[in-house]
Copies of this chain bind each other. A is one copy, B any other.
Amino acid sequence: MSSPDVQELLDTNSAVVPESLALTLPREKLEWMLGKMCETRYFEEKAEELYTRGLVHGTMHLSIGMEASPIGSIAALEPDDLIVNHHRGHGHTIAKGADITTMMGEFLGKEPGYCRGRGGSMHIVDIAHGNMGATGVVGSGIPIAVGVALALQMKHSAQVVLCFFGDGATNEGAFHESLNLASIWALPVVFICDNNHYGMSMSYRHSMNISKISVRAGAYGIPGFTVDGNNVLAVYQTVKECVDWARAGKGPSLVENLTYRWRGHSKSDRNLYRTPQEIQEWMQRCPIKRFKQLLRDSQIMSEQETETIDQRAKETIDRAAELAVQMPEPTPENMEDEVYAP
């Protein structure tokens, strides 16, 4: 396994992966990918709406436009594989099998939510589906994922863990220490950088003096790849290779999915650090539109079929939101009893 020489993937705006990959994958897999991407998109649009209606207390981090990275990555997992998530993690949570209503409930701070309303959007955990939770401290999930991988290795498990983080997170010391530890112990973890080009407002081209984050893999003697992160199949293919590599006991690797967030960093963002053109250009590269087009072009699905999946996703989200809004609120008694495990 060695890094491909990916040249400015984004300028080509085309899949490096042969479209024929789509033909080799089971149809349900492709349907699943499209469905989860649509669910993620609609979940976040709904989240925005609920926020605007004043139903959400707190901040949120939307990944609209970035859906191919988490969904293509998680598509490469077996069901009992694991993930460790970060603050911009709605797509990851959905792809890993979360019940959308429970998830929406957590987003709204409700008692039946995934964290009983204690965590919120940034900390959704879903152990049953292998989502080991998310931290809001940038980079701090990386060592935790390495610890998850260490436990897997010590238990002689065949499972693999995907560790998600952003471009900005790779400048934290936690990134460095963690990749080094995972490498010397050959742990079954794939590090996935959702490179959406910015931290909060700082372009990764200014936050580091290298043009590809994947070169950082070299500092740990592990493979590194840069992928067109708006091409769900390209993401899938590369991550699959890395997951197989990890499962075979060959250790960690680093995948950088180049993508872009259409919305601001969070609700306080006035988008002053980037141009409307840049955002427009990236909206042209919508990962969902591109995937639908590919499915049609390769005659795997008709427009009607892709739109049915799309519509079903929308309905799932709408229904979940309706139910979640009516969920009961938690009450503050005895919270002290929740801090320590018995």
Which residues of A are interface residues toward B (Cβ below 8 A)? 171-177, 180, 183-184, 206-210, 215-216, 218-222
Contact = CB atoms under 8 A, between A and B. Distances in A.
Contact of A221 (B171, B176, B210): B210
A326 to B, nearest CB: 45
Contacts of A215: 218-219
Given A180-B209, A184-B209, A219-B219, 14 more contacts: A172-B177, A173-B174, A176-B177, A183-B208, A183-B209, A184-B206, A208-B221, A209-B220, A210-B218, A210-B219, A210-B221, A215-B218, A215-B219, A216-B219
Contacts of A184: 206-209
A210 B177 CA distance: 14
Closest 4 CB pairs of A and B: A173-B173, A176-B176, A209-B221, A183-B209
Contacts of A216: 219
A219 B216 CA distance: 5
20 contacts: A171-B177, A172-B173, A173-B173, A176-B176, A180-B208, A180-B209, A183-B208, A183-B209, A184-B206, A184-B207, A184-B209, A208-B220, A208-B221, A209-B221, A209-B222, A210-B218, A210-B221, A215-B219, A216-B219, A218-B218
A interface secondary structure, majority: helix
Nearest to A181: B171
Contacts of A183: 208-209
A200 to B, nearest CB: 16
A60 to B, nearest CB: 28
Contacts of A177: 171-173, 176
Nearest to A206: B184
Contacts of A207: 180, 184
A218 to B, nearest CB: 5
Contacts of A174: 173
A90 B210 CA distance: 36
Nearest to A208: B180
A145 to B, nearest CB: 16
A206 B181 CA distance: 10
Contacts of A172: 173, 177
A218 B208 CA distance: 11
A174 B171 CA distance: 10
Contacts of A210: 218-221
A215 B180 CA distance: 13
A172 B177 CA distance: 6
Contact of A176 (B175, B206, B209, B218): B175
